[in-house]
Amino acid sequence: MARSLLEFGGTTASGTIYCCGVTAQRSRPQPLVVEGIKVDLVEDARLKEFDKLILSGPDSVGHATIVGRFFAGELITTEVRSFWGGYGHMGCCPLLAIQQIVLVDPRESKELDYGAETDQPDLNKECTGYEILHDFSNRNLTLKAQERADLGQEEWAFNDPKRVASERLAQLLKLSDSSTIELKQTRQRQGRIIYWWRPKGKTVRYMVVVSRPYLLSFYAKDPKRVAWVLIGAFETFCGRGDD
């Protein structure tokens, strides 16, 4: 499904700022009316819980069951593509006007990664560019990795993130032996680990990001057993190799 702009019905406003005179006000004087249709809103504890969730930060993933009215807008055709839109920033999107929040999943796990975006290399004077080696927007790759772990084909993916990182990087680089990759852990946060590899004598360095994504808990055989999967791999270009 294409991305949609979310807005609350009733007199509660989302406060989202995108452009063109839209303000951060959290209320409006009259209930929301779209295309001549009045959209009401059930204001209860679940709405407050949902509002708190979406205000938790820009790099964040949540899950909720929503009742609302969907407005496709109009068919917009450009030289590049055709899409339905007319709402939001420069008319980018269709609109989902929220009428009721039915359910909000609590984010209680201390092991899962609730981040929405993968980390990327921080460039400096020595390393000035990078190439993306892994298509982290392809959800099928992470689903297949979870499936292999669930089937026992890669049982180690549940508890060996470093092996996941080295095995996946070896596959991307078409190396037959992943043991030649000497990864160094550089950062870690809940459900996510970042490794670097600096091949001796080379002017490239590799950054690998593995995660236990929250969204995989909805596809795993056991939602409490989410595998470590690759969500980012980068080849950075640096001025000199390591001795």
Give the pLDDT confidence of 168-203 residue by residue, as tens digits.
999 999 999 899 999 999 999 999 999 999 998 888
**56 within a domain of the structure (yes/no):** yes
Tens of each residue's pLDDT in the chain, 243 residues: 457 788 999 999 888 777 666 677 888 999 999 999 999 999 999 999 999 888 877 788 888 999 999 998 888 888 888 888 788 777 788 999 999 999 999 888 999 999 988 999 987 766 788 999 998 878 899 999 999 999 999 999 999 999 999 999 999 999 998 999 999 999 999 999 999 999 988 889 999 999 999 999 999 999 999 999 999 999 998 765 443
Query: 131 and 179 share a domain?
Result: yes
Query: 165 and 231 share a domain?
Result: yes
Distance CA 201, CA 203 (A): 7
Query: 167 and 201 share a domain?
Result: yes
Among 89, 104, 119, give the residue marking a domain's end: 104
- DSSP reduced 3-state for 157: helix
Query: 97 and 135 share a domain?
Result: no
Average pLDDT taken over every residue of the chain? 89
**113 within a domain of the structure (yes/no):** no
Query: 183 and 219 share a domain?
Result: yes
Query: 144 and 86 share a domain?
Result: no
- Report the pLDDT value the prediction gives residue 243, as an integer from 0 to 100: 38
**176 within a domain of the structure (yes/no):** yes
**112 within a domain of the structure (yes/no):** no
**115 within a domain of the structure (yes/no):** no
Give the pLDDT confidence of 198-217 residue by residue, as tens digits.
998 888 999 999 999 999 99
Query: 80 and 141 share a domain?
Result: no
Query: 233 and 131 share a domain?
Result: yes
Beta bridge partners of 189: 192
**203 within a domain of the structure (yes/no):** yes
pTM: 0.79
Q: Which residue range(s) make up the domain with 38?
A: 5-104
**117 within a domain of the structure (yes/no):** no
- What is the number of domains present in the chain? 2
Among 104, 135, 167, give the residue marking a domain's end: 104
Q: Is 148 left (phi over 0), alpha (psi -120 to 50) or beta?
A: alpha
| φ, ψ for residue 24, nearest 5 deg | -90, 15
Q: Are the CB atoms for 188 and 111 separated by under 8 Å?
A: no
